Amino acid sequence: MRMVFKFKMSIDDYHHMLMCRTFGNSRIRRGLLFISWVVFTVLIICDLTHVLTLSRVVHVCALMVAVAVPAAFVTMEVNVSKYKDAYKEGFKAERQIIADEEGLTFCNRSTDESGSNPWTDVTRLEEMKNVFVIQLNRREAVILPKRGMGNDKKIEMFRDLAKQKIPNRFYPLKERVFR
């Protein structure tokens, strides 16, 4: 079974992809990172105002976290802003993802770049409301928008293939039950 998905990377897709690459795919992980940043920033402020005294090691660690997290966020937002400008000027990043029994082939049809990854390279494949996030390693994620997959039957076929090939690394969309 071979499935070919062609789509144009929207600004939201690009932002989502960069968020996953920069801060991880998990909302819990991003939340914990944010809480850590707040705690370490407060510690630095308290140390600088002499409310408390941190050891040098804790001070340096807190300072690194307090600076690195916002720097990563600003860098991500600058890249999204550049992508928005290019998008408005007519650049439409055309993507193609081919899924088959062997693995996934990613093609950037705008730049003629491509690469193949066997299913064993996929460290995590998470289904979200509007996209599939294909994690190839801690720093590389590819977004497959459901709108680029055609119809619900193709989405279900892709879901079934992922369940078959990477059952322990595929995380389907969880229905939330509100009471």
Q: What is the pLDDT of residues 68-106, one digit of tens each?
A: 999 999 999 999 999 888 888 877 678 889 999 999 998
pLDDT, position 47: 96
List the single range of 71-75, 114-118, 139-143 with lowest mean pLDDT.
139-143
Give residue limits of the domains in the chain.
3-16+91-167, 25-80
pLDDT, position 28: 85
CATH architecture of 3-16+91-167: Roll (2.30)
Report residue 177's pLDDT band, with 50, 70 and 90 as the boundaries. Answer: very low
Q: Compute the distance between CA of residue 77 and CA of residue 34 in angstroms, rounded to an integer.
A: 16
5, containing H or E segment: strand 3-8
- Put simply, whether the predicted model's pTM sits higher than 0.85 gets the answer no
Calculate the dihedral angle through the C-alpha atoms of 163, 104, 123, 173, rounding to the nearest 10 degrees: -40
**Whole-number percent of the chain with pLDDT over 90:** 51
pLDDT, position 179: 43
Q: Compute the distance between CA of residue 161 and CA of residue 119 in angstroms, rounded to an integer.
A: 10
CA quadruple 148, 88, 17, 99: dihedral sign: positive
pLDDT tens across 24-73, in order? Answer: 767 788 899 999 999 999 999 999 999 999 999 999 999 999 999 999 99
Strand partners, 108: 95, 113
Higher-confidence residue: 68 or 18? 68
Q: In what order do the strands lie in the sheet with 170-171?
A: 140-145, 131-137, 124-127, 170-171
Average pLDDT score over the chain: 87
Q: What is the DSSP string of 96-123?
A: EEEE-SSEEEEEETTTTEEEEEEGGG--
Report residue 14's pLDDT band, with 50, 70 and 90 as the boundaries. Answer: confident
pLDDT, position 22: 83
Report residue 157's pLDDT band, with 50, 70 and 90 as the boundaries. Answer: very high
